[in-house]
Structure 1
């Protein structure tokens, strides 16, 4: 199999958080704890797969969470034109992962069936559970469904040779992670199956959780899918940009050759 190039593209951050926002159980809840927001690009020759879309300025203004770059602008240094993107793997439908779907009008999305059922089902009657979702984003996904541009997976599925998806649940009921064959080995884009390295390395649950058992099992799954712990890529950890080499602008890092620095036990 031909390996894929993989890039993490940062488009936003939140630097007024504390550890209580990141860990359900922690002894240092009042300490600062920054968060980065990423989308990911898989590239093999002329083929581009996008993993998640981030959220745009409009959504950032609505939630009081400003972005640094609109997703389309953030992707431009990689030569990606939004209208040319035809495949997007959506790890889950939270606003910061599916909030930019409308900017990629020609894309078919790969999604877990359980995530669509969850985001459009009776659990959304509860404000605590629907808070990470935005109705317009869910409607966009439904419109893709009715135009024949949603491919559903139930558990494990193959998107391309060397690119597979795997449902973990936990943070959102249909959360899926992406396994990618790279030059460095099998890499796992964990998305929100582990927001930070510390979540999966120390089995510290993230506070936004639908099923705690699934989240804890997911910490094991993402390590099993990757060739090594160093190739598990958390969804929001600023350490990713410190461990992996930059690729052009400082908001893009290259993941497929492995980290430049290793800190994991």
Structure 2
């Protein structure tokens, strides 16, 4: 399977030193929305979508607090649809969308592919459709009003490097799997993809900074505050983050782990 790595949204929160760990105290930082486009014998598979064209046309649907906090740069050319078209494909070629979770900066583009099956872990779908007061700001009804073709998945008995693995796309076996990594949200998952060079694990928002996957983990203070601010279950988040770090260190060469928002990790593939 051929994998394309796409940045489907740039975020510029205050400030560079607190977000990226170096640089200016006065200039904004930089975060990205790392998505994957996979060419398979079942059509194109999109892992997360970043922002969609409706977000560009109507930024207000993302909410003023989100826009103010993240400094989102809403560029039409950054959408998954624009980048997929630039690669020579059509929106109809996207047959499946596999989501780490349904936060607004991960699922904003699903309406750009109305014919695609949208795969998500069932607890995440339940949280998005019936959010608590703490969750309402992260799940945006405008992203789901087109009645997506949901395909909901439950935990199975399959194992993936010691994690629970859920096969999501018929015909691809375990080449694409949801890996429950709850804590950031109730149904947060990673998405594992088998490639010629080994496994790629898109860890979503299970962590935010490449230094968190090192033997001596570290992260900028601004990201640490943000992680704690948006988590739903701290214990689960920290436990899964520890397991991810062990995976990244013990299976280096077999599994490449990356998160959704780290520009340093994205540059490895871009």
Give the TM-score of the pair, scaled to structure 2: 0.74
2:31 maps to what in 1?
Answer: 35
CA contact (8 A) 2:98 2:120 kept: yes
Deviations 1:70-117 (A, max 9, x none): 321022233331122111101111111111111101111111110011
For 2:80 and 2:194, the matched residues in 1 are separated by 25
1:66 maps to what in 2?
Answer: 73
CA apart distance, 1:231: 1.1
Deviations 1:105-137 (A, max 9, x none): 11111111100111223xx341x4322221122
Matched ranges for 1:172-191 at <5 A? 172-191=185-204
1:231 maps to what in 2?
Answer: 256
For 2:182 and 2:16, the matched residues in 1 are separated by 22
CA contact (8 A) 1:110 1:153 kept: no
**Structure 1: where are the runs of 5+ without partners?**
245-252, 254-265
- RMSD (Å), alpha carbons: 3.0
Moved more, 197-206 or 77-86: 197-206
Matched ranges for 1:103-252 at <5 A? 103-121=112-130, 124-126=131-133, 128-140=134-146, 143-144=147-148, 149-154=150-155, 156-159=165-168, 160-161=172-173, 162-201=175-214, 202=217, 205=224, 206-207=227-228, 208-223=230-245, 227-228=251-252, 231-244=256-269
1:263 maps to what in 2?
Answer: none
For 2:194 and 2:51, the matched residues in 1 are separated by 27
Q: Greater relative contact order: 1 or 2 (C-alpha under 8 angstroms, separation 6 or more)?
A: 1
Q: Is residue 6 of structure 2 the alignment partner of residue 14 of structure 1?
A: no
CA gap 1:213/1:90 in 2 versus in 1, 3 angstroms: same
**Structure 2: where are the runs of 5+ without partners?**
156-163
Runs of 4+ in 1 over 6 A off after TM superposition: none
CA contact (8 A) 1:111 1:153 kept: no
